[in-house]
Amino acid sequence: MLMTAIEQAPPRQRADEPRADTDIATTRPGTPGGIFMRQFWHAVCRSRDLPAGSTKPLRIMSEDFAIYRTRAGVPQIVADRCPHRGALMHLGSVEDEAIRCVYHGWKFDRCGQCVEQTYPTREYLDLVFAYFGAGDPPPFPHFPHRTSPGLIQVWNAEHVPCNYLQSFENSMDEVHVAFTHQPGGSHAKMSVDLPIITAEETDWGMLRFGTRRTGKVRQTLHYAPNVTRVIVPPLAGMDGVGGWSEIYFSFTPVDDENHLWLITSHVEVSGKDAETYIAKRAEYDRKVAAAPPVMDLVRNIWSGKLRFAEATHPDLAVVQDIAVQAGQGRIEDRQNERLGRSDTGIILWRRILTRELRAIAEGRPAKKWQRPPAEVVPTLGF
Ligand code: FES
Ligand SMILES: [Fe+2]
């Protein structure tokens, strides 16, 4: 039997919790939040969505860019407008290793020749990452991945209509699984009891523990500032092949009211099992492609046309998560919450964010974030 939410909800916020004067949700340029976030690499799109020779507009942390991939296959991000007379760069064309502006044909190479600004752009785990901060970027890749044999599998890229922090916080909130994902879908088997949540700050982010009644502990990693690494059950449509996988969630701010939810994973399969998995995955991808967009279902749930518990979709867990998280509002009102015991991870992360943003705002030294060690990995806890 599940405990009720009431039984889970004790202490009111403590006096040292984030005050209203620190905006922990914004990532606009020049704000403490924007300066904080620009210290890190950010996932910006899936590799597969940027074929060689293509160009696209890109909006990250309230700033506009153009992203393209050279003929040789190298991704590159540049400022959104041409330095000549401000034409949109993503209207241009890729010529070998350069991009040519559509207006008067000025040509820009990857070293920033003729271009006002290029941004360090790399690829890892089938995602494109970029660095938008001042000075040299931190080492890349900025987090390790599982090295045992397996497949790297990238999942849907969702544009979520709310602030990134809501979804990053959701990933720290293991207790929601038993309620939000209870109506079927891939997480149903995690809904057996409610874990007790504890968390601790590390020199690379936050470690969070979910302790079950059995005494088993599930360890989840939250890499600063917006990546969660966790072990999850196979998605509903993938049952029977591939087993559990390690998933890397990136919550990248588009602006303060939207973010990209990019999901990539390491599925531990090899040999014949890998072939079976790939075939099953192709079938799953076909189902997702044929299904209505996730946001269509979410809007129908919000408007009351579709009951939450009756929604069906090959990506049901994603529909459920977005309905709940983006349903909190574009930027959740954090001043009027009543945080409970299950919010321990969220409370700690807000405290860390608030401390860092205040240090930035007041010109005091901020934390020197370290690259996470490869040996700290998520655990199953079942
Ligand atoms: S505006 Fe780009 S070449 Fe003139
Ligand atoms: Fe969820």
Q: What is the dihedral of CA 142, 56, 32, 340, to 10 degrees?
A: -70
Structure confidence by residue, pLDDT tens digits, 279-289: 999 999 999 99
Contact predicate 51/357, CB 8 Å: no
Question: Ligand 1: which of 78, 101, 114, 115 to mutate, judged by most atoms within 8 Å of the beta carbon?
Answer: 101
What is the per-residue pLDDT for 109?
80
Structure confidence by residue, pLDDT tens digits, 12-43: 445 455 555 799 999 999 999 999 999 999 99
84 lines ligand 1 (CB under 6 A): yes
Which amino acid is residue 174, in one-letter code? E
CA 30: distance to chain centroid?
Answer: 22
Q: Whose CA is nearest to atom 1 of ligand 1?
A: 85
103 lines ligand 1 (CB under 6 A): yes
What is the per-residue pLDDT for 113?
60
Q: Above 50 in pLDDT, residue 2?
A: no
pLDDT band at 269 (very low <50, low <70, confident <90, very high): confident
Structure confidence by residue, pLDDT tens digits, 203-217: 999 999 999 889 999
Distance from the CA of 178 to the center of ligand 2, in angstroms?
9
Question: Ligand 1: which of 81, 89, 93, 106 to mutate, judged by most atoms within 8 Å of the beta carbon?
Answer: 106
Which residue from 282, 291, 340 is spatially nearest to 313, judged by alpha carbons? 291
Q: Which ligand is nearest to the CA of 176?
A: 2
Strand order in the sheet with 258-267: 151-160, 258-267, 245-255, 227-232, 217-223, 205-211, 196-201
81 lines ligand 1 (CB under 6 A): no
Question: Ligand 1: which of 55, 84, 88 to mutate, judged by most atoms within 8 Å of the beta carbon?
Answer: 84
Distance from the CA of 291 to the center of ligand 1, in angstroms?
41
What is the per-residue pLDDT for 138?
96
- The mean of the pLDDT values for the chain is 89
In ligand 1, the atom with minimum distance to the C-alpha of 82 is: 2
Q: 110 Cβ partners below 8 Å, 6+ apart?
A: 70, 74, 76, 97, 98, 118
Q: Which ligand is nearest to the CA of 230?
A: 2
Q: Above 80 in pLDDT, residue 240?
A: no
- Cis status of the peptide bond prior to 314, with omega within 30 of 0: no
82 lines ligand 1 (CB under 6 A): yes
**What's the rounded mean pLDDT across residues 246-252?**
96
Contact predicate 293/319, CB 8 Å: no
Contact predicate 105/116, CB 8 Å: no
* Residues paired with residue 79 on neighbouring β-strands, in sequence order: 65
**What's the rounded mean pLDDT across residues 142-171?**
94
Distance from the CA of 80 to the center of ligand 1, in angstroms?
12
**For residues 135 and 268, what is the distance between their CA atoms, to the nearest angstrom?**
38
**What's the rounded mean pLDDT across residues 316-321?**
94
**What's the rounded mean pLDDT across residues 101-126?**
84
pLDDT band at 6 (very low <50, low <70, confident <90, very high): very low
DSSP symbol at 81? B
Phi-psi region of 135 (alpha: psi -120 to 50; beta: other; left: phi over 0): left
Q: Which ligand is nearest to the CA of 78?
A: 1
In ligand 1, the atom with minimum distance to the C-alpha of 101 is: 2
> Which is higher by pLDDT, 67 or 177?
67
Which two structure tokens, joined as six digits, stand for 301?
């749930």
Q: Counting runs of H as helices and runs of E as strands, what totals does the chain give?
A: 8, 17
**Domains, the chain:** 41-131 (2.102.10.10), 144-361 (3.90.380)
Q: Above 50 in pLDDT, residue 96?
A: yes
Question: Ligand 1: which of 78, 85, 93, 116 to mutate, judged by most atoms within 8 Å of the beta carbon?
Answer: 85
Distance from the CA of 107 to the center of ligand 2, in angstroms?
45
307 lines ligand 1 (CB under 6 A): no
**For residues 325 and 161, what is the distance between their CA atoms, to the nearest angstrom?**
9
Cα–Cα distances (Å) from 66 to 221, 266, 375, in that order, read 32, 29, 36
SS3 (DSSP) at 35:
helix
Distance from the CA of 117 to the center of ligand 1, in angstroms?
15
**For residues 119 and 49, what is the distance between their CA atoms, to the nearest angstrom?**
19
SS3 (DSSP) at 327:
helix
Q: Which ligand is nearest to the CA of 321?
A: 2
Percent of the chain exceeding pLDDT 70 equals 88
What is the per-residue pLDDT for 244?
75
What is the per-residue pLDDT for 193?
74
**What's the rounded mean pLDDT across residues 72-98?**
94
Distance from the CA of 107 to the center of ligand 1, in angstroms?
9
Q: Which ligand is nearest to the CA of 186?
A: 2
Residue showing tokens 């559990």? 244
